[in-house]
């Protein structure tokens, strides 16, 4: 019997990036199939192609053995492939019922809306998954959990054989997440194929029948889960993080000095729930963990862009907030660079005040500094007059790192979020060199990375951030399984001192 | 030239051609000869000194409103409110210029009057600025609304005592506030036309804005914020303050556009004086493409069309030339990713 939904060598390119590079996957009836991978691995793109929302460059999507026309969401829905996207597609000012039937309204003769039949169908779908919804409530008054249930009901009313959910628990509380998975289990038991895109390993362990790992656009592995065996979780962790040979780096002995950055009991919304740690002068501390566990919010607080709800950030020699830390943000095209501005301007972004006299920018002084920094980033002088968008990803990241390192010379703390994501190996090595240099010059350095191999080479100790808390502190040579365990958000924080670094 | 800017220039040229064709088609439907009308449009403007002067007079206000809209656009803001800013500034400058003691020397009177125009224009941008910076309210909506409020305010003030009894015009400005007409200062050839010293003033303002955006710290940061507010925020550039200053300066320049009609031509403000120049400025900014010379050429083009409309009005309705404007704006707006980004903000975020 063919799988309900099969993907055949799907390819998708965005500019120079191969988001999905030839992935073939099958989804069977009766199973909850998790598709896991770090942010930007290509898993969402893959399933958006499956649902006809994104048109593949090559490859085919088959439903029960017959190919779907590429990039045709309407036809995909008609043939039984429904997707609940991360951003719900609901009309806020309409009622739940109106949303449920939107685009597929049952009508009587003369085109009049058949409200009774609409309600019957909606009730039937809701009953099937064991949820109750107030059909007359307007969507804008509904909670996130109910909105998501409504989306699922809507998918079922279109007779979906395959239900795809993209990061469904990103917006849910743990209790709601449990309820969601109970719902998904019912769907699977009723003979549907359920596909869940997620980066949370604990969900994979607890709920998935099958787990496929996507990494850098490629399918790395597909495993059948047997009651959440820990060794398969460890293997999945390795698959997600990658076990490439670590970049060459001389590990110099450094003696940590006094505490430069002290984070105490940091709370921010649901993202950060009591984060505390310290970083000493001359020390490189890593923060491992799967994206979406509070990394983004932590970086924004450290950068002084967001105020925490509670807790404090203390840095010696900088005070709190702005000026405390020089920060390389995670998303270089959105936060690191102004892509359409010249490389020259990007190298000194936010520092014009330094080159200004009586309100006028001293172009010559700016140019001198830009040349110094370009040389540090190993960029040719000619590239100064190109827009930053014309550089490769690796060179763009070098621009950002050169700016932050040079511009933040006096900042006692250096924070780098995903410093080598999507960066070629040579640039990655250069960036690692900068990180080590900063530590050797006495800065406290914090590196957040989804790449465990990277943290192992760079860091003196590694903290694991899971669900907004520091779940563990591990030496860089701790076994994979320990990291995997901690990333699942072990109930009580495990603190283990590294043998190499005396606190 | 990058692919994006090449396609934008192409869209401008194609839009101009399409607009011209559409206008000529209308002329033909009116039963007139497109060739004769086109000829009349040219001879009525650039072939006679008076026509040249009138074109320059119209282009003066269009250049300033164009610079105003363009400046906001560089910051990623779409200021649709130049029309209202100009109207309020016109009334304010006329009131001030008429209210100054008759003995005020010109070196005090003229700068005071000009400052009033700029301040009034900026003041009319304050509400959209606060809504945008503090509450993320879309400035397109708020500036459009402020245009309607400006209409009502001007009518109200004229009705309640600012107009001379029985008229819709204000009292005469004192002579010391007059911007001399160019025909009075040596350019006799332009005899009778309304072009005044507001023209060199407008050119000067255009140059100053260009230099400010290129050379000053704040100007450069305004442009960077327009390109990527998120990256600027992350680099600790005060994004809100830069947006605010861009919108205020934009309003001030739109306000200055009232100087030509009020101080250089009529010597007073009347209902409807300068109307249309604010909206025309949007077209000028879209065609001028963020370059001072481009803005100047676009102002001349639309000034010519404005004046040419009058020249052909006897045979076909002058609105024929507005067709050219409309088609060009639509074509450019569609082709310009920058405009799309501004227009769609709030829809997609």
DSSP A260-312: EEEEEEEEETTTEEEEEEEEETT-EEEEES-TTSSHHHHHHHHTTSS--SEEE
Residues A271, A230, single domain; the answer is no
Contact B243, B30 (CB under 8 A): no
Contact B236 A350 (CB under 8 A): yes
Determine the structural domain holding residue A192 and report its residue range. 5-241
Residues A208, A336, single domain; the answer is no
Torsional sign, CA A127, A128, A131, A133: negative
Residues A229, A292, single domain; the answer is no
Contact B107, B153 (CB under 8 A): no
Residues A145, A269, single domain; the answer is no
- CATH label of the domain that carries residue A122: 3.40.50.300
How is B214-240 classified by DSSP, letter by letter? HHBHHHHHHHHHHH-HHHHHHTT--HH
**Minimum CA–CA partner of A360 in chain B:** B216
Q: Which residues of A touch B (CB under 8 A)?
A: 303-305, 322, 327, 329, 334-341, 345, 349-353, 355-356, 359-361, 363, 387
% pLDDT > 70, chain B:
93
Contact A305 B231 (CB under 8 A): no
State the pLDDT at residue A88: 79
Contact A304, A279 (CB under 8 A): no
Tokens of A362: 């001293």
User: Does a structural domain hold residue A171?
Assistant: yes
Tokens of A1: 């019997």
pLDDT per residue, tens digit, chain A (503 aa), is: 568 999 999 999 876 667 898 999 999 999 999 998 876 678 888 999 999 999 999 999 999 989 999 888 889 988 999 998 877 788 888 999 999 888 778 888 778 888 888 899 899 888 888 788 889 999 888 887 888 889 888 888 888 899 999 888 766 766 778 888 998 999 999 899 999 998 777 788 888 999 999 988 889 999 888 765 667 877 887 787 775 544 455 556 677 888 999 999 999 988 899 999 999 999 999 998 877 788 889 999 999 898 999 998 888 765 444 457 899 998 888 899 999 999 999 999 999 999 999 999 999 999 999 999 999 998 888 889 989 988 877 889 999 999 999 988 888 899 999 898 767 667 888 899 999 999 998 899 999 987 787 898 899 999 999 888 999 999 998 887 788 778 776 444 444 444 443 33
- For the segment B250-279, what is each residue's pLDDT rounded down to a tens digit? 999 999 999 999 999 999 999 889 888 999
**How big, in percent rounded to 5, are the helix, strand and coil portions of chain A?**
35, 25, 40
Torsion of CA B259, B261, B265, B271, to 10 degrees: -130
User: Does a structural domain hold residue A301?
Assistant: yes
CB proximity B160 to A under 8 Å: no
The partner residue sitting opposite A335, judged by closest CB among B218, B224, B231, is B231
The partner residue sitting opposite A352, judged by closest CB among B2, B217, B234, is B217
State the pLDDT at residue B114: 96
C-alpha A242: how far from chain center: 16
Residues A127, A272, single domain; the answer is no
DSSP H helical ranges for A388-479: 393-407, 425-440, 452-458
Contact B335, B110 (CB under 8 A): no
Q: Kindly report the pTM of this predicted structure.
A: 0.76
Contact B216 A353 (CB under 8 A): no
User: Does a structural domain hold residue B205?
Assistant: yes
The Cα A452–Cα A290 span in angstroms is 10
**Minimum CA–CA partner of A342 in chain B:** B224
Nearest alpha carbon to residue A455 among A437, A435, A472, A441: A435
The Cα B19–Cα B326 span in angstroms is 7
Contact A350 B232 (CB under 8 A): yes
Contacts 24+ apart (CB under 8 A), B151-156: B151/B84, B151/B87, B153/B88, B153/B91, B154/B87, B154/B88, B154/B90, B154/B91, B154/B271, B155/B271
Residue of B4, B217, B224, B235 to mutate for A, most A C-beta atoms under 10 A: B235
Find chain A residues with C-beta within 8 A of B228's C-beta: 334, 337-341
Nearest alpha carbon to residue A503 among A254, A280, A234: A280
State the pLDDT at residue A319: 46
Residue B325, pLDDT above cutoff 50: yes
Nearest chain B Cα distance for residue A221, angstroms: 36
Nearest alpha carbon to residue A151 among A34, A51, A26, A32: A51
State the pLDDT at residue B133: 93
Determine the structural domain holding residue B70 and report its residue range. 3-343
* Length reported for chain B: 349
Which SS3 state, helix, strand or coil, does residue A214 take? Answer: strand
The Cα A166–Cα A200 span in angstroms is 12
Find chain A residues with C-beta within 8 A of B227's C-beta: 338-341
User: Does a structural domain hold residue B324?
Assistant: yes
Residues A146, A281, single domain; the answer is no
CB proximity B216 to A under 8 Å: yes
User: Does a structural domain hold residue A264?
Assistant: yes
DSSP state of A95: B
Which SS3 state, helix, strand or coil, does residue A404 take? Answer: helix
- A206, A241, A276 - which closes a domain: A241
User: Does a structural domain hold residue A501?
Assistant: no
Q: What angle do CA A76, A81, A83 make, to 5 degrees?
A: 105
Judged by average pLDDT, the poorest of A2-6, A21-25, B54-58, B133-137 is A2-6
- Read off φ and ψ for residue A59, nearest 5 degrees: 95, 175
Which SS3 state, helix, strand or coil, does residue A67 take? Answer: strand
Pairing of strands A218-224, A5-14: unpaired
How many domains is chain A partitioned into structurally?
2
More reliable by pLDDT, B166 or A104: B166
- For the segment B22-44, what is each residue's pLDDT rounded down to a tens digit? 989 999 998 889 999 999 989 88
Residues A355, A465, single domain; the answer is yes
Which SS3 state, helix, strand or coil, does residue B345 take? Answer: coil
The partner residue sitting opposite B231, judged by closest CB among A327, A337, A355, is A337
Residue of B217, B219, B222, B341 to mutate for A, most A C-beta atoms under 10 A: B217
Residue of A300, A336, A338, A418 to mutate for B, most B C-beta atoms under 10 A: A338
CA atoms within 13 A on the CB side of B185: 12
Residue A493's alpha-carbon distances to A200, A487, B97, B180, in angstroms, are 18, 11, 75, 81
**Minimum CA–CA partner of B231 in chain A:** A335
Contact B62, B281 (CB under 8 A): yes
CA atoms within 13 A on the CB side of A4: 24
Residues A329, A181, single domain; the answer is no
The Cα A349–Cα B36 span in angstroms is 56
User: Does a structural domain hold residue A348?
Assistant: yes
The Cα A308–Cα A268 span in angstroms is 5
User: Does a structural domain hold residue A500?
Assistant: no
The partner residue sitting opposite A335, judged by closest CB among B218, B221, B234, is B234
**Minimum CA–CA partner of A347 in chain B:** B235
Q: Is B258 exposed, middle or buried (0-12, 13-18, 19+ CB in 10 A)?
A: buried
- Read off φ and ψ for residue A287, nearest 5 degrees: -120, 110
Nearest chain A Cα distance for residue B37, angstroms: 44
Find chain A residues with C-beta within 8 A of B211's C-beta: none
The Cα A137–Cα A146 span in angstroms is 11
Q: How confident is the prediction for chain B on average, in pLDDT?
A: 89
Contact B217 A360 (CB under 8 A): yes
Residues A143, A49, single domain; the answer is yes
CB proximity B310 to A under 8 Å: no
Residues A234, A379, single domain; the answer is no
Tokens of B106: 């010109």
Tell me the pLDDT band of B150, cut-offs 50, 70 and 90. Answer: very high
DSSP state of B263: I
The partner residue sitting opposite A345, judged by closest CB among B218, B224, B236, is B224
- Read off φ and ψ for residue A275, nearest 5 degrees: -90, 130
Contact B235 A304 (CB under 8 A): no
Counting one residue from chain A and one from chain B, the pairs whose CB atoms sit within 8 A come to 62
Residues A286, A212, single domain; the answer is no
- CATH label of the domain that carries residue B121: 1.10.3470
How many domains is chain B partitioned into structurally?
1
Contact B224 A349 (CB under 8 A): yes
The partner residue sitting opposite B231, judged by closest CB among A338, A360, A363, is A338
Residues A47, A124, single domain; the answer is yes
User: Does a structural domain hold residue A254?
Assistant: no
Contact A166, A106 (CB under 8 A): no
State the pLDDT at residue B204: 97
The Cα A421–Cα B208 span in angstroms is 43
Nearest chain B Cα distance for residue A291, angstroms: 20
User: Does a structural domain hold residue A247?
Assistant: no
């Amino acid at each position: 019997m063919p799988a309900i939904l099969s993907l055949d060598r799907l390819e998708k390119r965005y500019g120079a990036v191969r988001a999905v590079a030839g992935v073939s996957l099958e989804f069977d009836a009766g199973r909850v199939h998790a598709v896991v991978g770090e942010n930007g691995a290509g898993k969402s793109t893959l399933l958006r192609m499956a649902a006809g929302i994104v048109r593949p460059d090559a490859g085919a999507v088959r439903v029960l053995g017959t190919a779907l026309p590429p990039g045709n969401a309407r036809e995909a829905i008609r043939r039984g492939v429904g997707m609940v996207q991360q951003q719900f597609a609901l009309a806020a000012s309409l009622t739940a019922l109106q949303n449920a039937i939107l685009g597929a309204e049952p009508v009587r003769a003369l085109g009049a809306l058949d409200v009774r039949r609409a309600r019957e169908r909606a009730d039937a779908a809701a009953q099937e998954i064991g949820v109750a919804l107030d059909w007359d409530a307007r969507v804008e008054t509904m909670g996130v959990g109910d909105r998501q249930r409504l989306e699922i009901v809507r998918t079922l009313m279109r007779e979906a054989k395959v239900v795809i959910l993209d990061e469904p628990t990103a917006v849910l509380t743990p209790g709601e997440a449990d309820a969601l998975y109970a719902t998904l289990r019912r769907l699977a038991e009723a003979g549907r194929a359920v596909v869940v895109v997620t980066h949370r390993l604990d969900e994979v362990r607890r709920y998935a029948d099958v787990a496929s790992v996507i990494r850098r656009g490629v399918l790395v592995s597909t495993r059948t889960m047997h009651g959440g065996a820990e060794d398969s979780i460890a293997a999945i962790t390795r698959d997600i993080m990658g076990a490439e040979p670590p970049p060459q780096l001389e590990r110099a002995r450094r003696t940590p000095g006094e505490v430069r950055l002290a984070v105490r009991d940091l709370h921010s919304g649901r993202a950060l729930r009591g984060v505390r740690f310290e970083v000493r002068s001359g020390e490189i501390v890593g923060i491992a963990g799967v994206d979406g566990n509070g990394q983004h919010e932590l970086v924004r607080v450290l950068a002084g862009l967001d105020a925490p709800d509670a807790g404090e950030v203390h840095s010696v020699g900088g005070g709190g907030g702005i000026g405390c830390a020089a920060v390389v943000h995670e998303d270089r095209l959105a936060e690191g660079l102004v892509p359409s501005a010249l490389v020259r301007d990007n190298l000194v972004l936010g520092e014009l005040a330094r080159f200004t006299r009586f309100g006028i920018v001293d172009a010559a002084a700016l140019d001198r500094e830009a040349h110094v920094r370009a040389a540090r980033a190993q960029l040719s002088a000619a590239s100064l007059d190109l827009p930053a968008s014309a550089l490769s990803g690796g060179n763009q990241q070098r621009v950002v790192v050169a700016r932050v390192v040079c511009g933040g010379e006096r900042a006692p703390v250096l924070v780098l979020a995903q410093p080598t994501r999507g960066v070629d190996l040579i640039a990655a090595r250069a960036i690692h060199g900068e990180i080590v240099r900063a530590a050797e010059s006495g800065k406290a350095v914090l590196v957040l990375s989804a790449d465990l191999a990277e943290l192992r080479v760079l860091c003196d100790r590694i903290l694991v951030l899971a669900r907004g808390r520091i779940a563990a502190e591990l030496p860089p040579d701790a076994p994979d399984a320990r990291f995997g365990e901690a990333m699942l958000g072990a109930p009580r924080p495990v603190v283990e001192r590294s043998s190499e670094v005396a606190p | 030239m990058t692919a994006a800017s090449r396609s934008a220039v192409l869209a401008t040229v194609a839009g101009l051609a399409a607009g011209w064709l559409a206008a000529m088609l209308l002329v033909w439907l009116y039963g007139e000869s497109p060739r004769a009308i086109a000829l009349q449009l040219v001879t009525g403007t650039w072939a006679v000194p008076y026509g040249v002067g009138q074109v320059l007079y119209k282009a003066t206000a269009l250049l300033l409103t164009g610079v105003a809209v363009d400046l906001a656009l560089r910051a990623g803001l779409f200021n649709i409110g130049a029309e209202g800013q100009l109207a309020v500034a016109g009334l304010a400058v006329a009131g001030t210029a008429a209210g100054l003691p008759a003995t005020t020397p010109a070196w005090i009177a003229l700068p005071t009057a000009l400052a009033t125009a700029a301040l009034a224009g900026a003041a009319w941008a304050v509400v959209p600025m606060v809504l945008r910076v503090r509450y993320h309210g879309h400035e397109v909506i708020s500036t459009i609304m402020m245009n309607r409020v400006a209409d009502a305010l001007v009518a109200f003030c004229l009705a309640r005592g600012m107009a001379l009894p029985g008229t819709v015009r204000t009292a005469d400005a004192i002579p010391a506030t007059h911007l001399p007409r160019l025909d009075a200062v040596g350019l006799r050839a332009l005899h009778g036309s309304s072009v005044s010293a507001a023209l060199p003033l407008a050119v000067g303002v255009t140059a100053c804005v260009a230099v400010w955006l290129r050379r000053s710290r704040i100007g450069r940061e305004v442009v960077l914020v327009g390109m990527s507010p998120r990256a600027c925020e992350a680099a600790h550039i005060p994004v809100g303050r830069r947006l605010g200053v861009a919108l205020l300066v934009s309003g001030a320049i739109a306000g200055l556009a009232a100087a030509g009609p009020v101080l250089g031509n009529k010597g007073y403000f009347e209902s409807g004086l300068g109307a249309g120049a604010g909206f025309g400025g949007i077209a000028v900014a879209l065609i001028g493409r963020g370059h001072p010379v481009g803005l100047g050429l676009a102002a001349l083009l639309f000034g010519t069309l404005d004046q040419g409309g009058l020249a052909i009005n006897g045979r076909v309705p002058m609105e024929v030339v507005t067709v050219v404007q409309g088609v060009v704006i639509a074509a450019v707006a569609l082709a310009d990713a920058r405009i799309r980004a501004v227009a769609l903000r709030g829809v997609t975020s």
